[in-house]
């Protein structure tokens, strides 16, 4: 009996020690261009890590970069100081994560929007084409002109993926719809240029567009303002942006980057953090369209029924939304 009691006590102590070790974390996050208050991609992550802090009482460190050279510096500095896990916000940080994660194999890294294949890296990517399909359906149904627009940030395959899904959804709702597309630029500055976003939106409105979807980070703020000024509709991205201009924001394509960041921190705390790749779409609750009190008057029963039917069919595999990144092409 004494041996059994000793063994039980030892097991309990080991379990308690393991729990303490798992919860004894120093989380950190490196934000992408545009900063944590961009009202879009970064701010979604910020909301996720703030939720973690409020629920657990565990503080986190963060860094907002101003140029690309700071990515690797920030990750290395955090790792040297014992931060763990470290969340990297955005595809631009892949090189930095790969370099620093290799140097610090005992530190956990989570990268959002890119895959880094290392045993201590957790990669979270999203099926943005599926969520963009849904808002494309709503755009085409809300349009009176039969012309809808898309404004992307930096011209990269990931943003073309948003555009391609949007086009497919719009044409699903109206085969004759015309989609006008513009990209803001070819450098990271394209994520934080509201003035240029507004100019591009006004140019599209002059061409007859009456609904515009922006997948452009902070640049989208200028798009939404232009839509409000012109009495047109806009569609938000990443975070639920419906509240920015009620009456203007038709909906938002919600991308749960907040959940990716929250789960990374919580998993490290609970000892359930795991490396590998997660691809989150409609079925996984990773993307969706947003309906709340701010945009409910703009979405008719027919629109809601159509988009929910499409959503169910995508989840069931009856509709397969083409992924631009699979072949860098979009069906016409």
| Percent of the chain topping pLDDT 70 | 93
Return the structure tokens found at 146: 């039969």
8 A C-beta contact, residue 242 and residue 252: yes
pLDDT (0 to 100) of residue 232: 98
8 A C-beta contact, residue 266 and residue 23: no
CATH assignment of 128-254+288-327? 3.40.50.2300
pLDDT band at 331 (very low <50, low <70, confident <90, very high): confident
pLDDT (0 to 100) of residue 40: 80
The phi, psi pair for 153, rounded to 5°, reads: -85, -110
pTM value is 0.84
Domain with CATH 3.40.50.2300 in the chain: 2-127+258-280, 128-254+288-327
pLDDT tens sequence across 232-287: 999 999 889 999 999 999 999 999 999 999 999 999 999 999 999 999 999 999 99
Say if strands 178-185 and 211-215 run parallel, antiparallel, or are unpaired.
unpaired
pLDDT band at 30 (very low <50, low <70, confident <90, very high): very high
pLDDT (0 to 100) of residue 83: 97
Helix (H, G, I), strand (E, B) or coil at 331: coil
CA–CA gap between residue 161 and residue 158 (Å, rounded): 5
pLDDT band at 23 (very low <50, low <70, confident <90, very high): low
Mean pLDDT (the chain, rounded): 92
CA–CA gap between residue 221 and residue 291 (Å, rounded): 19
pLDDT tens sequence across 156-178: 999 999 999 999 999 999 999 99
CATH classification number, 2-127+258-280, choose in 3.30.230.10, 3.40.50.2300, 3.30.30.10, 1.10.150.120: 3.40.50.2300
CA distances from 298 to 140, 246, 250, 251, 290 (A): 13, 10, 6, 9, 12
């Amino acid at each position: 009996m004494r041996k059994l009691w000793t063994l039980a006590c030892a097991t309990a102590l080991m379990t308690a020690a393991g729990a303490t070790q798992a919860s004894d974390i120093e989380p950190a996050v490196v934000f992408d261009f545009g900063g944590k208050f961009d009202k879009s991609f970064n701010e979604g992550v910020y909301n996720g890590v703030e939720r973690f802090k409020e629920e657990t009482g565990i503080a986190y460190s963060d860094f907002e970069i101003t140029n690309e050279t700071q990515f690797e510096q920030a990750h290395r500095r955090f790792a040297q100081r014992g931060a763990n896990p470290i969340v990297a916000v955005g595809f631009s940080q892949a090189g930095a994560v790969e370099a620093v994660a290799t140097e610090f194999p005992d530190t956990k890294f989570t990268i959002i929007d890119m895959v880094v294949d290392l045993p201590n890296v957790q990669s979270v990517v999203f099926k943005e084409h599926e969520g963009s399909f849904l808002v494309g359906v709503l755009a085409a149904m809300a349009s009176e002109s039969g012309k809808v627009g898309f404004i992307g940030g930096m011209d990269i395959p990931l943003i073309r993926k948003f555009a391609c899904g949007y086009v497919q959804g719009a044409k699903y709702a109206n085969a004759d719809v015309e989609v006008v597309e513009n990209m803001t630029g070819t450098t990271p500055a394209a994520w934080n240029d509201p003035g240029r976003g507004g100019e591009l939106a006004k140019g599209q409105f002059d061409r007859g567009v009456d609904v515009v979807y922006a997948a452009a980070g902070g640049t989208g703020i200028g798009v939404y303002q232009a839509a409000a000024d012109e009495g047109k509709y806009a569609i938000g991205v990443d975070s639920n942006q419906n509240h920015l201009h009620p009456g203007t924001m038709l909906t938002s394509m919600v991308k749960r980057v907040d959940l990716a960041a929250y789960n990374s921190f919580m998993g490290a705390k609970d000892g359930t953090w795991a490396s590998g790749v997660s691809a989150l779409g409609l079925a996984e609750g990773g993307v969706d369209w947003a309906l709340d009190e701010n945009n409910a008057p703009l979405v008719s029963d027919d629109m809601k029924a159509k988009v929910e039917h499409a959503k169910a069919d995508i989840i069931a595999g009856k509709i397969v939304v083409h992924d631009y990144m699979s072949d860098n092409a979009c069906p016409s």
